[in-house]
Structure 1
Amino acid sequence: MSADVEIAVVGAGLMGTATAWAAARRGRTVALLEQFRLGHDRGSSHGSARIVRRAYADPLYVTMTGQAMALWRELEQESGRTLLRITGGLDHGSRRRPDRIAAVLDACGVPHELLPAAEAGHRWPGLRFDGPVLHHPEAGTVDPAAAMDAFAALARRGGADIRDGTPVRRIGVEADDLVRLETATGTLTARTVVVAAGAWTRDLLDGLVPLPELTVTQQQVFHFPRRDPATAPWPVIVHKDALSTYSLPGGRDGGPDDGRKIAEHDAGPRTTAAGRDGRVDPAARDRITAYVRDWLPGLLPEPFNETTCLYTSTANEDFVLDRVGPVVVCSSCSGHGAKFAPLIGEYAADLATGRPGPDPRFSLAAHGALSPHR
């Protein structure tokens, strides 16, 4: 029985649009379905700045960051858009273990330097450190809204059918492995479906594919003004001490004076895709404001902009990238997946076209959801 398309992709965030681009440029017929408008702010991919960096204490992720960086550059070249802003990156704090990250970067051949606190403070006035600081130059930000536009435009150029305002109500698999997607505007059939729906993943796949525990949290993000907007922007920063925080230049959301985006990585309350309230917790605002006052004296400790977004996380923060029958699960980026978007799109397209998947760590079996001998 023939299908309407070879590959249907559900969810047009960073991962879904990247998958559509990867599949379309392989000559596959693709339909990309999004329940809201393209570029909406209801999920995890909106905004003007996300961190890209090479610094991980895990060689697998360090290797993946290098592959992703090359794909980001390819996307920039093919789309004619500037998406990356390279500022360098800093890692510090007693729970961040910059010495351990430095050893992994050294083994992987990634340029870096380990600095004493005083030298780092001299090099980046307005920041405070109390221990060793890892600096690596290949880090900065990516503009997620512009990236999604670029992915979608190139996918459309490759023939992809992109449908926003098209909620998928149900996904079913027929006896001949044909996938049937029931949408608000009709039925679409495909040979393979890639579900890249973030916080909506369990709603779409529950009962169809065994899933590990996926925790959805509502994260809170703040922007603070710089005391001296004329100074060069600081590198992106990951700091784990009493709080686990990250900060970066805010892009368009940072306003004309390039305000700083700051958030906690792991402190958002649990929620659901449908149940999020979008309200910022005053206690979170107070924690981050106190953090800015203590560690980032080059900022004014008064946020001028705040918002929320969703994380969908696995227990160990590894991604889920696997295929069961004609269904590809592409989800759970666990708050650190944006930097890998074009690479995850390649992985999902590989799985959708019958090629081997990525590292077994990302399989459903590795997450305890499937037998490894399925």
Structure 2
Amino acid sequence: MAAQHHLYDAVVIGAGIQGCFTAYHLAKHKKKVLLLEQFFLPHSRGSSHGQSRIIRRAYPEDFYTNMMDECYKMWAQLEHETGTQLHRQTGFLLLGMKENPELKTIKATLARHGVEHQWLQPEELKQHFPNMRPASGETGLLDESGGILYADKALRALQNAIQQLGGIVRDGEKVLEIKPGQPVTVTTPSGSYQGKSLIITAGPWTNRLLRPLGAELPLQTLRINVCYWREKVPGSYGAAFPCFLSLERSLGPHHVYGLPSREYPGMMKVCYHHGNKADPEERDCPECPSDIPDVQILRDFVSKHLPDLESEPAIVERCMYTNTPDEHFVLDRHPKYDNIIIGAGFSGHGFKLSPVVGKILYELSMKLTPSYDLTPFRISRFPSLGRASL
């Protein structure tokens, strides 16, 4: 094994969307950065692959809606810099009963932040979206700024931008060992690399890297079914149809969400925002327990509410979520080693926020004052993980 003695300002482990944006911010600020990825790029083993993700300002929490303002600007800036379209505005429709407390909270958040939105009464909802069949009495809250991010294009654009800015991207290099210190030493089968700081954005593999460093986060890795449903008439849920999220819980304890057809012509992406516990190495394991209950919930939802779709999924793919107990991110320093930074637990809603997440992780790694209040994202919020026990 040939040792590499080049000293980087930062080494980033994990080339999903969070790691890519972190490396991008480092490279933009003229830092020497190495981005390491265990799989050969592009790959579909983690949480950032596929063609589409939802972008929205509609959140119950002010801190996410606040962060999204800068995220939209950064997504537009990346589009401009790379000459690649990464976003399409479709609107984002929340469905729920008028008295639904979460719907009321989100409406109040949008109003406070001056985000353009419409409250659609049941009749207006039917007029706006005739090929959607809401539950009786159901209303709609439309975040007009919502839309689709082109996920795989964004990853490629970022990886190219990092390299054009002087950063190094090395794929097919699984991390074998991390030696804390000044500097941190990271060993892969190809060699050892040293960084003044280390940023871990390894998704479902985060705790495998943290355990030897004396830390473990309360992360749950879930295998998610990504389902595509064929339109009975091609184009029924195309360009004029919004992304949506149903707050109705009669079918199951988690949300159902959907995106208008893109990945596969004539198909709509409709998924359940939860899955089965799974080891990330067994994501595609054919012998693993069946996820049929999740798909059955979706069949019921499609049959009831999206009548112009076939009620059996045409394609089922797999993705991984890495969830924290409160579904808020971890953006913090290692409790013992202050030059090791952790970005984890993006809980199936982190893609849209990755431009600001990357900026925050860059700031933490360079010991700059963070641009945002990181109280909601600190490790210390988990009482059972007091810093002494880590």
Q: Note if contact 2:284-2:318 (Cα within 8 Å) is conserved in structure 1.
A: no
Q: Does residue 84 of the first structure (1) align with residue 94 of the second (2)?
A: no
1:291 Cα deviation from its structure 2 partner:
1.1
Matched length:
366
Specify whether residues 278 and 55 from structure 1 end up closer, same or farther in structure 2 by C-alpha distance, changes over 3 A only.
farther
1:341 Cα deviation from its structure 2 partner:
1.2
Q: 2:47 aligns with which of 44, 47, 62?
A: 44
Q: 1:303 aligns with which of 299, 313, 330?
A: 313
Specify whether residues 362 and 209 from structure 1 end up closer, same or farther in structure 2 by C-alpha distance, changes over 3 A only.
farther
What is the CA–CA distance in structure 2 between the aligned matches of 1:278 and 1:39, rounded to whole Å? 20
What is the CA–CA distance in structure 1 between the aligned matches of 2:39 and 2:224, rounded to whole Å? 20
Identical residues among aligned pairs (%): 30
Structure 1, unaligned runs of 5 or more: none
Q: 1:15 aligns with which of 4, 15, 18?
A: 18
Letter in 2 for 1:248: L
What is the CA–CA distance in structure 2 between the aligned matches of 1:185 and 1:151, rounded to whole Å? 24
1:150 Cα deviation from its structure 2 partner:
0.8
User: Structure 2 matches for 1:153-164, cutoff 5 A?
Assistant: 153-164=160-171
1:139 maps to what in 2? Answer: 146
What is the CA–CA distance in structure 2 between the aligned matches of 1:153 and 1:127, rounded to whole Å? 40
What is the CA–CA distance in structure 1 between the aligned matches of 2:196 and 2:386, rounded to whole Å? 22
Specify whether residues 16 and 96 from structure 1 end up closer, same or farther in structure 2 by C-alpha distance, changes over 3 A only.
farther
1:320 maps to what in 2? Answer: 330
1:349 maps to what in 2? Answer: 362
Q: Note if contact 1:48-1:250 (Cα within 8 Å) is conserved in structure 2.
A: no
Deviations 1:61-91 (A, max 9, x none): 1111111111100110111100101100100
What is the CA–CA distance in structure 1 between the aligned matches of 2:235 and 2:147, rounded to whole Å? 19
User: Structure 2 matches for 1:165-314, cutoff 5 A?
Assistant: 165-174=172-181, 177-208=182-213, 210-231=215-236, 232-241=239-248, 242=250, 243=252, 244-252=255-263, 255-257=264-266, 259-266=267-274, 268-278=275-285, 281-314=291-324
What is the CA–CA distance in structure 2 between the aligned matches of 1:118 and 1:194, rounded to whole Å? 50
Q: Does residue 365 of the first structure (1) align with residue 341 of the second (2)?
A: no
Letter in 1 for 2:220: T
Deviations 1:186-222 (A, max 9, x none): 1111110110000000001114253430010101110
1:272 Cα deviation from its structure 2 partner:
1.7
Deviations 1:277-332 (A, max 9, x none): 45562333222112101011121222211111100010001100012311010111
Q: Does residue 122 of the first structure (1) align with residue 127 of the second (2)?
A: yes
Alignment RMSD: 1.8
Q: Note if contact 2:45-2:283 (Cα within 8 Å) is conserved in structure 1.
A: no
1:370 Cα deviation from its structure 2 partner:
4.5
1:129 Cα deviation from its structure 2 partner:
1.7
What is the CA–CA distance in structure 1 between the aligned matches of 2:198 and 2:357, rounded to whole Å? 15
Q: 1:151 aligns with which of 130, 154, 158?
A: 158
Letter in 1 for 2:82: S
Which stretches of structure 1, 4 residues or more, deviate above 4 A after TM superposition? Answer: none
Structure 2, unaligned runs of 5 or more: none
Q: Does residue 26 of the first structure (1) align with residue 4 of the second (2)?
A: no
What is the CA–CA distance in structure 2 between the aligned matches of 1:105 and 1:344, rounded to whole Å? 21
What is the CA–CA distance in structure 1 between the aligned matches of 2:125 and 2:141, rounded to whole Å? 9
Q: Note if contact 2:55-2:146 (Cα within 8 Å) is conserved in structure 1.
A: yes
1:16 Cα deviation from its structure 2 partner:
0.8
Query: Secondary structure at the residue paired with 1:51?
Result: strand
**Most deviating of 155-164 and 235-244:** 235-244
Query: Secondary structure at the residue paired with 2:22?
Result: helix
Letter in 2 for 1:274: E
Deviations 1:140-170 (A, max 9, x none): 1111111011111111011111100111111
Q: Note if contact 2:133-2:307 (Cα within 8 Å) is conserved in structure 1.
A: yes
Q: Note if contact 2:283-2:318 (Cα within 8 Å) is conserved in structure 1.
A: no
